[in-house]
Amino acid sequence: MIMRRALFAALLSILASHLVVEPVRAQSRGTAALIERGIALHDDLNFEEALQVLSAALVRADNTSANTTQIYRYLAYTYMSLGRDAEARGAYRLLLALDAQHEVDSSLSPRFRQFFDQVREGWIADGRPGAPPPAPVEIRHTSPPQSEPGEGVELRAQVEDPAGRVARLVVAYRQGTEAVFRRLDTRPVGADLVADIPGEDVAPPLVEYYFEAVDAAGLPVASRGDVQAPLRIAVPDPEGGGSIFRTWWFWTGVAVLTAGAIVGGVLAFGGDEGQGSPTGTLRITVR
């Protein structure tokens, strides 16, 4: 009995320590699925959302060369569709650095084909430069545990960038889980880079956000969180009692985070006094 009580106490401690849950890698659908989603959004003309998803896929650590080439291709198309020629040029040059034999898609509009043909000519004239070796970029940040409705949220981060790849650090945020992320530039404050989420965008049940570091060409080189696995700030609902235990997203995150701990705890404690595996039913009621 004492061992069972200790196990339950440990589980309650885990729940209490994860009132705001950072996304875990186990929740990610994987890089390939992100690329597919980004392409589908591009084909459906949802260019802003496509850009967010493809940018998230680009900085994933498990990318293959083929994945990266495909991402740069659709990033170039998406930037062009948004009228961001400089970023489109940068993405297409990096595509050519990875795949020198790449040909412009004949199904593109004449304006797009002409633009990318000119990018290729410029790349050849510059000596066909290859893609620079990736240098590590680290974004350090601690997520605020909670914010009151209507109160602005200050986000602070530090960037470790030994090779000087980062030109800007931006914050993408949204209220809830469905809207398109909005972007804010950070500003230097001492050793930190700071952005403020406006109070009018802070409402129950939560705010989601992530940091993205971009290079001089506007292309992402690192992120802290992303569109698929954003960071979260709990925003209590005064009319609902203000408890995050009432929200579906809390229990979804906690279930993933605590599953391993529960299994580990059961294996560690075993049955009472060596009498075999215990059985029973645990009921949790959320009111």
pLDDT at res. 30: 83
Task: Measure the N-to-C terminal CA separation of the chain; round to a whole number of Å.
Answer: 27
Lowest mean pLDDT across 33-42, 103-112, 261-270, 278-287: 261-270
Tokens at residue 251, please? 């229990």
Confidence of residue 247 (pLDDT cuts 50, 70, 90): low
> Which pTM was predicted?
0.71
pLDDT at res. 61: 83
Q: What percent of the chain has pLDDT over 70?
A: 73
Mean of pLDDT values over 95-116: 94
Residue 41 and residue 49: Cα distance in Å, rounded? Answer: 7
pLDDT at res. 207: 96
pLDDT digits (tens, 9 = 90+) for 194-207: 999 999 999 999 99
Mean of pLDDT values over 17-25: 39
Residue 267 has pLDDT above 60, yes or no: no
Confidence of residue 12 (pLDDT cuts 50, 70, 90): very low
pLDDT at res. 5: 43
Mean of pLDDT values over 80-86: 96
pLDDT at res. 240: 66
